[in-house]
Every structure is written in structure tokens, then in C-alpha cells.
């Protein structure tokens, strides 16, 4: 497996999934009251923005994680494929959640489905990291041993927090959407990617 080509296809799936999200926003069905029709669709737009942020930030972190890898093997390819499936699938629960909130029916169910998708995504991240990092199987030699344990802890914790989001979904669908938005923002500032960002070799001219 050529690492560059795996990154290129991953980038492609991130880019397509993030752009396809626009098709999930509920379309107006009555143009004679367009303003109120569109105003009522704000949950659909909110779900769009949250999923867009999630995919965008995950893409950033995917980039960082692959920056720590020396090479890619078949096992990592398939764990990465599983991860990409949860991202490519995200437009479905996003559309369902937006439409359930608009309909005022089934919002709790929709939020649970959204959270379960994200929890599986978090498990895929964790599985990919543990596969790549245990015994330093695929890590670059420059990746510090101390940071390896911190990252493993962070991915484990991530899986737990996303599992918790399923509980939040049972309480309230809006709270659940806000929770996922807040988590996305947290991951935009998380230490692992910030450190990756600062590494001089990751910023070629």
C-alpha cells in the first residue's frame, strides 16, 4: 500500500461526504410561504453545520494521525476503510435528524441513530490508532513514546464520550446536537492535532 495514495482517497471521501451533506437539508415544499418554510428548517441547517464541522475537523485530525505513520499496511487500510464508512454514512443520520426535528416527531430516535453512528466512528478511530501504535507497528521513529500513551488514552476517552452522547440523545435531541457540536469544537483544539500542527516537518513551503 502506498501511503500517499491511501491519504489521497481518504481526502476524496472526506471532501465528497462533506459536500454531499448539502443534499440532506430539507427542501421547502410550499413556495407561497417560503420565508416561514425556510425559518422552520433551521434544525436541518443546524444539523448540516454540526456534521460539516465534524467531518472537517476529523479530516484535520486524520491528517495529523497519518503524519505519525511511517507506512500503511493491509490491516490499517481496512480499519481506515471502516472509519471512512462511518464518515461517508453520516449524511444519512444528518438528514434524518434534521427532518425529524422539523417534523417534531421521532427526534429522539433520530438523535440516537446519529449518536450511535458517531460512537461507531469513535470506535473505528480507536481501533485504527491501537492497531497502528501497539508495539509501534506503523509509527515513525520520531513519534515520542510518552505521547503514544497520551494519544491511546485520548482515543479511549473519545469512544466513552461518544457512547455517552447516546444517553444525551435519549434526554433531548437538541441537546444532543449541541453536544456533538461542542465535541467537534473540542477536537478542533485538542492537543494531539495542535502538536502535529507545530511540527516543522509537517509545514513544507
- Site residues (CB under 8 A) for a copy of itself, limited to 133-192: 188
Size of the site for a copy of itself (CB under 8 A): 71
Candidate residues 40, 46, 49, 135; the one interacting with a copy of itself per rule CB under 8 A: 49
By CB under 8 A, is residue 54 in contact with a copy of itself? Answer: no
Candidate residues 14, 143, 155, 187; the one interacting with a copy of itself per rule CB under 8 A: 14
Site string for a copy of itself, 72-111 (x = CB under 8 A): xxx--xx--x--xx--xx-xx--xx--xx--x-xx--xx-
Measured distance CA(177)–CA(98) in Å, rounded:
10
Given the rule CB under 8 A, which of 50-58, 147-155, 161-169, 175-183 is the region that contacts a copy of itself? 50-58
Euclidean distance between the first and final Cα of the chain, in Å? 26
Measured distance CA(10)–CA(8) in Å, rounded:
5
Task: Provide, rounded to whole angstroms, the least separation between the CB of residue 160 and a copy of itself.
Answer: 25
Given the rule CB under 8 A, which of 5-13, 126-134, 151-159, 173-181 is the region that contacts a copy of itself? 5-13
Given the rule CB under 8 A, which of 21-29, 117-125, 153-161, 170-178 is the region that contacts a copy of itself? 21-29
Query: Cα dihedral sign for 46, 48, 52, 55?
Result: positive
- Check if the beta carbon of residue 108 is closer than 8 Å to that of residue 173: yes
Residue 104 phi, psi dihedral angles, 5° rounding: 70, 20
Residue whose CB is less far from a copy of itself, 156 or 166? 166
Angle between helix 173-188 and 91-103 (nearest 10): 140
Degrees (nearest 5) of the Cα angle 147, 119, 130?
30
Amino acid at each position: 500500500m502506498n501511503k500517499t495514495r491511501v491519504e489521497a482517497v481518504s481526502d476524496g471521501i472526506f471532501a465528497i461526504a462533506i459536500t454531499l451533506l448539502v443534499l440532506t437539508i430539507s427542501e421547502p415544499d410550499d413556495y407561497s410561504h417560503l420565508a416561514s418554510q425556510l425559518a422552520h428548517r433551521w434544525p436541518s441547517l443546524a444539523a448540516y453545520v454540526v456534521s460539516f464541522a465534524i467531518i472537517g475537523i476529523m479530516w484535520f485530525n486524520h491528517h495529523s494521525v497519518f503524519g505519525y505513520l511511517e507506512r500503511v499496511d493491509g490491516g490499517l487500510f481496512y480499519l481506515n476503510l471502516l472509519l471512512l464508512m462511518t464518515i461517508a454514512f453520516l449524511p444519512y443520520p444528518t438528514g434524518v435528524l434534521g427532518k425529524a426535528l422539523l417534523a417534531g416527531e421521532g427526534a429522539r430516535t433520530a438523535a440516537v441513530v446519529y449518536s450511535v453512528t458517531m460512537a461507531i466512528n469513535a470506535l473505528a478511530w480507536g481501533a485504527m490508532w491501537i492497531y497502528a501504535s501497539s508495539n509501534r507497528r506503523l509509527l515513525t521513529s520520531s513519534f515520542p513514546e510518552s505521547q503514544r500513551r497520551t494519544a491511546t488514552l485520548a482515543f479511549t476517552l473519545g469512544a466513552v464520550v461518544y457512547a455517552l452522547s447516546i444517553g444525551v440523545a435519549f434526554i433531548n435531541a437538541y441537546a444532543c446536537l449541541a453536544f456533538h457540536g461542542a465535541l467537534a469544537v473540542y477536537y478542533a483544539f485538542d492537543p494531539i492535532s495542535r502538536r502535529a500542527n507545530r511540527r516543522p516537518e509537517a509545514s513544507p513551503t
